[in-house]
């Protein structure tokens, strides 16, 4: 999809759909009023009739017989200054209708939003449009996507055009990255396996000069002593892969990027059956989404390549399939991680932390400024936070704050969870240095505690996206979260 910013005269702008708002008293913004005038006050009459619902975010499409805009999409806003959350509602609601037309121009930047400028508005409008237009068609025999191909955002005046354009570019990159993550997430486990993910990374590196990729196979992992990672893949016929994608946009001296990278680590369990501690059958299909952390790392890489910011980012993807078999790990097995710490596997369904702990140890090799892992790690996180917030843990309060703020700005929110020492003892084992599960309580916290034992040498955060990475039910599908949060954070650095 093509996104752009423009100071647009609505009475002349050709468009399949012009998006304008009416407040609670049916008052139009300035472009809306101009269009109303140019169309013989048709819009005003329709509003007076009461055809547009009164609830914020209600929409009504008017098909115009004449004029440069073929349709007007009316959205109900409110009087005065809108909250950011309300503006996002308008952005979403209008995008959900506009996705059905071949192009659209949004004039919602004329609204006033608390603590936000038109660049922020543009970013949110574009992100919402990009997300709304996405459709998973790859496995359909009739692969028809949404028609929306061009989305234009009105810049209220020429002074703001440059800033609005930047907002558009960032929103477009966040949408692209999110949709890359959604596509990988939605692909079934029989297509998207660790080998598939490795091939994706190699293809990406071939296309872009600023990206290099390396893939470690099981032999290489064994030589590095990654006994925890490999124990997860043992039960599967699919070989595991530890994928490293190195984006180098940072300052370079003699061709070598010198700034310390941010390392992102994604959990890439391409299917999580639970292993010998097998899961119940209900909704087990959704465990194809257990690589959404990895998918978000791919999404961020795509978004970075789009924007080419002057930073260095390493994306590590811990890819494996968790299956039961005669070769699979058994409860009680003890493995030695790359760090040297031994782990008693009391539950083979707590596999994410096993692939992640060795990947976190491996991450130190890149001398990172910061490490952030992203994982669909615990069902307990879904119980605690539902699907609205990502669970955020960090061994550094400053980093936690920055990530929370990044999520707030782009509407991809996280919630700070405790990583207190008091929780650590639940991982004590009688037979090894630690065990891979805590008790029944605080399951998301104890999983984070487990990871923290392997992230002691750098500043680190962990995002538990078990609730936020995908929707269940009628809207089943990957959300692309937390790509917007991560991009917002990386660009804000």
Query: Pick the catalytic residue: 353, 409, 413, 481?
Result: 353
Stretch that binds Zn ion, among 7-15, 119-127, 287-295, 362-370 (CB under 5 A): 287-295
Q: Regarding beta strands 342-345 and 434-435, do their DSSP bridges make them parallel or antiparallel, or are they unpaired?
A: parallel
- Annotated active-site residue 27? The verdict is no
CA distances from 146 to 90, 132, 142, 427 (A): 20, 9, 13, 49
Quick check: 118 binds ligand BES (CB under 6 A)? Answer: no
363: left (phi over 0), alpha (psi -120 to 50) or beta: alpha
Sort 2 into a burial class: Cβ within 10 Å, 0-12 / 13-18 / 19+.
exposed
Stretch that binds Mn ion, among 65-73, 112-120, 343-351, 370-378 (CB under 5 A): 343-351
| Binding-site partner at residue 380 among Mn ion, ligand BES, Zn ion, none, CB < 5 to 8 Å by type | ligand BES
Quick check: 351 binds ligand BES (CB under 6 A)? Answer: yes
Quick check: 272 binds Zn ion (CB under 5 A)? Answer: yes
Considering the complex, what minimum distance in angstroms separates the CB of residue 272 from ligand BES? Answer: 5
| Three-point CA angle 123, 129, 135, nearest 5° | 140
Residue with tokens 């990654």: 226
Site string for ligand BES, 277-296 (x = CB under 6 A): -------------x------
- Of 287 and 311, nearer to Mn ion (C-beta) is 287
Listed residue (138, 219, 146, 140) closest to 186, CA to CA? 138
Angle between the N-to-C axes of helices 30-38 and 42-49, in degrees from 0 to 180, rounded to the nearest 10:
110
Q: Which of residues 265-284 bind Mn ion (CB under 5 A)?
A: 272
- Annotated active-site residue 353? The verdict is yes
Quick check: 272 binds ligand BES (CB under 6 A)? Answer: yes
Q: Of all residues in this chain, which one has the CB nearest to ligand BES in the complex?
A: 379
Q: Which of residues 303-362 bind Zn ion (CB under 5 A)?
A: 352
Rounded to whole angstroms, the Cα distance separating 479 from 147 reads 20
Residue selected from 232, 466, 483, 486 as contacting ligand BES according to rule CB under 6 A: 466
Q: Which of residues 369-388 bind ligand BES (CB under 6 A)?
A: 376-380, 382
Task: Kindly report the number of other CB atoms within 10 A of residue 401's CB atom.
Answer: 13
Considering the complex, what minimum distance in angstroms separates the CB of residue 323 from ligand BES? Answer: 13
Considering the complex, what minimum distance in angstroms separates the CB of residue 379 from Zn ion? Answer: 9
| Alpha helices, DSSP H, located in 270-411 | 292-307, 352-363, 379-385, 397-410
Rounded to whole angstroms, the Cα distance separating 170 from 187 reads 26
| Residue 408, preceding peptide bond in cis (omega within 30° of 0) | no
Stretch that binds Zn ion, among 108-116, 242-250, 270-278, 301-309 (CB under 5 A): 270-278
Quick check: 349 binds Mn ion (CB under 5 A)? Answer: yes
Rounded to whole angstroms, the Cα distance separating 106 from 17 reads 8
Quick check: 189 binds ligand BES (CB under 6 A)? Answer: no
| Binding-site partner at residue 379 among ligand BES, Mn ion, Zn ion, none, CB < 5 to 8 Å by type | ligand BES
Rounded to whole angstroms, the Cα distance separating 477 from 479 reads 6
Listed residue (462, 284, 257) closest to 357, CA to CA? 462
Considering the complex, what minimum distance in angstroms separates the CB of residue 1 from Zn ion? Answer: 32
- Of 106 and 322, nearer to Mn ion (C-beta) is 322
Quick check: 236 binds ligand BES (CB under 6 A)? Answer: no
Quick check: 349 binds ligand BES (CB under 6 A)? Answer: yes
Q: Which of residues 411-470 bind Zn ion (CB under 5 A)?
A: none
Quick check: 342 binds ligand BES (CB under 6 A)? Answer: no
Quick check: 238 binds ligand BES (CB under 6 A)? Answer: no
Query: Pick the catalytic residue: 150, 166, 279, 476?
Result: 279
Quick check: 321 binds ligand BES (CB under 6 A)? Answer: no
Residue with tokens 């605690």: 384
Rounded to whole angstroms, the Cα distance separating 78 from 346 reads 55
Output phi, psi for 5, to 5 deg.
Answer: -115, 150
- Give the residue numbers annotated as catalytic, written as ranges: 279, 353
Binding site for ligand BES (CB under 6 A): 272, 290, 347, 349-352, 376-380, 382, 437, 443, 466
Binding site for Zn ion (CB under 5 A): 269, 272, 290, 352
């Amino acid at each position: 999809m093509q996104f752009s910013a423009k100071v647009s005269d609505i009475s002349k702008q050709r468009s399949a759909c012009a998006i304008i708002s009416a407040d609670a008293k049916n008052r139009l913004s300035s472009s809306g009023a101009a269009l109303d005038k140019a169309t013989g006050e048709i819009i005003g009459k329709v509003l007076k009739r009461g055809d547009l619902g009164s609830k914020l975010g209600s929409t009504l499409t008017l098909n115009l017989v004449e004029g440069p805009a073929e349709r007007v999409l009316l959205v109900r806003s409110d009087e005065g200054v809108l909250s950011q959350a309300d503006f996002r509602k308008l952005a979403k609601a209008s995008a959900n209708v506009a996705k059905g037309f071949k192009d659209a121009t949004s004039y919602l930047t004329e609204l006033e939003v608390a603590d936000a400028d038109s660049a922020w508005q543009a970013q949110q409008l574009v992100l919402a449009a990009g997300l709304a237009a996405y459709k998973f068609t790859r496995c359909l025999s009739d692969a028809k996507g949404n028609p929306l191909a061009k989305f234009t955002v009105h810049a209220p005046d020429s002074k703001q055009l440059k800033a609005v354009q930047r907002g558009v570019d960032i929103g477009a990159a966040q949408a692209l990255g999110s949709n890359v993550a959604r596509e990988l997430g939605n692909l079934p486990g029989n297509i998207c396996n660790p080998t598939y993910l490795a091939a994706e990374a190699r293809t990406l590196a071939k296309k872009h000069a600023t990206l290099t990729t390396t893939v470690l196979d099981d032999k290489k992992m064994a030589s590095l002593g990654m006994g925890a990672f490999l124990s997860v893949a043992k039960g599967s016929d699919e070989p595991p892969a530890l994928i490293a994608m190195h984006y180098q946009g940072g300052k370079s001296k003699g061709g070598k990027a010198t700034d310390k990278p941010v390392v992102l680590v994604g959990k890439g369990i391409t299917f999580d059956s639970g292993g010998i501690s097998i899961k119940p059958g209900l909704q087990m299909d959704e465990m194809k989404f257990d690589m959404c952390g990895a998918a978000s790392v791919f999404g961020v890489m795509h978004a970075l390549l789009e924007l080419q910011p002057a930073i260095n980012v390493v994306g590590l993807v811990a890819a494996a399939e968790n299956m039961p078999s005669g070769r699979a790990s058994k409860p009680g097995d003890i493995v030695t991680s790359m760090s040297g710490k031994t782990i008693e596997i009391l539950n083979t369904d707590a596999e994410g932390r096993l692939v992640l702990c060795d990947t976190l140890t491996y991450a130190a090799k890149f001398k990172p400024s910061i490490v952030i892992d992203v994982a669909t790690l615990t069902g307990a996180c879904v119980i605690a936070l539902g699907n609205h917030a990502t669970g955020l843990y960090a061994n550094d309060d400053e980093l936690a704050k920055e990530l929370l703020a990044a999520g707030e700005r782009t509407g991809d929110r996280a919630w700070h969870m405790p990583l207190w020492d008091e929780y650590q003892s639940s991982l004590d084992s009688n037979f090894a240095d630690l065990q891979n599960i805590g008790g029944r309580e605080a399951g998301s916290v104890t999983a984070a505690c487990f990871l923290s034992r392997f992230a002691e040498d750098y500043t680190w955060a962990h995002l538990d996206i078990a609730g936020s990475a995908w929707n269940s039910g009628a809207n089943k599908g990957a959300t692309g979260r937390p790509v917007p949060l991560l991009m917002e954070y990386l660009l804000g650095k």
